[in-house]
Amino acid sequence: MEQFKIEKLTQPLPLIARDKIEELIQRSILAPGDRLPNETKLAQMLGVSRVTLREALRLLEEDGIIIRRQGRGTFVRSSDLIIRNPLEVNTSATEVIESKGLKAGTAWFKLERTKADKTISNKLNIEVGSPVIILERVRTANEKPAVYTLDVFSENIVGRIEVLKELNGSLSKFLEEKYNQKIEYSLGRIIPILPGPYILDKLKIVDLSPLLLVEEVDYNSEDKPIIYGREYWAPNILEFTILRKRRQ
């Protein structure tokens, strides 16, 4: 296995070592189910001490990327696609996946025309009964189910539901390029949630585990709500980061 020594100190060494090991996994140099080299060899590969390596491995284990098996060693878990996304940046699921050099795809796609109920009416600031489109998709990262998305928006934006059959990628980018509806910002929340059978089936999840739900409303430059969306990210796929500054 090639060397991946750390050349320049830009953050604490354990964090750099952790990221380097993640890079090996993302590049499939270490594949799901593979056993990691022993501590001495891995520390030499990264150019760090065994103490630093142990802390990096602890962080990876907490993140669910690796698993220690008594008497057998440390292994890469099957969910090897860990995507970090800063909270302050508004990005689509497609952009989040592609930002890590992964191939974004769609494994399942469903369109439905319906009428806005009270919840959708409040989210999109439209009349109850207004025609809306519900778009459901299972987005993949390197062909593995990563996120189930549900997006609701006014049919008036696109005119006809059939035009969405052209959609291949980011919905927000599609609406911007085709209908001049640029998303400027989003308001929402991020919560852990236990999914029901429907979402478990869509994401091909066997064991019941909490998912990360990103629920938000996207607004254009005129502060008009355009899309109400819900993203259910599969376990050990997405991690949000946040920059916090001390109050002056």
pLDDT tens-digit readout, 233-247: 887 676 666 656 566
SS3 192: strand
In eight-state DSSP terms, residue 235 is: T
> What range defines the domain where residue 35 resides?
13-76
Shortest CA distance to 183 belongs to which of 90, 248, 84?
Answer: 90
By the 8 A CB rule, do 90 and 130 touch?
A: no
Q: What is the pLDDT of residues 188-236, one digit of tens each?
A: 898 999 999 999 999 998 877 789 899 999 999 899 999 999 999 887 6
| Domain stops at, among 76, 97, 116 | 76
User: Residue 243: its pLDDT value, please?
Assistant: 59
Task: Give alpha helix (H) positions in the chain.
Answer: 13-26, 39-46, 50-62, 93-98, 118-124, 155-158, 171-179, 197-202
Task: Report the pLDDT averaged over residues 52-77.
Answer: 85
200 and 231 part of one domain: yes
Task: Assign residue 213 the CATH number of its domain.
Answer: 3.40.1410.10
CATH number at residue 25: 1.10.10.10
Mean pLDDT of 99-115: 88
Q: Report yes or no on 137 lying in a domain.
A: yes
93 in a structural domain: yes
Residue-level pLDDT at 76: 85
Phi first, then psi: what are they for 56, rounded to 5°? -65, -40
122, 19: one domain: no
Strands, E assignment, 116-177: 131-141, 144-154
- pLDDT-derived band at 104 (thresholds 50, 70, 90) equals confident
pLDDT value at position 80?
43
In a domain, 171, yes or no: yes
Same domain, 111 and 19: no
Q: Are residues 122 and 66 part of one domain?
A: no
Q: Is residue 7 part of a domain?
A: no
Same domain, 70 and 124: no
> Is pLDDT above 90 for 53?
yes
- Cβ atoms 186, 217 nearer than 8 A: yes
Partners of 144 in the β-ladder: 141
User: Among candidates 44, 35, 173, which has minimal Cα distance to 96?
Assistant: 173
- Which pLDDT belongs to residue 118? 96
Pairing of strands 131-141, 144-154: antiparallel
Tens-digit pLDDT profile for residues 116-172:
999 999 999 999 999 999 999 999 988 889 999 999 999 999 988 888 988 888 899
Domain count, the chain: 2
Same domain, 87 and 60: no
Here the tokens at position 51 are 């103490």
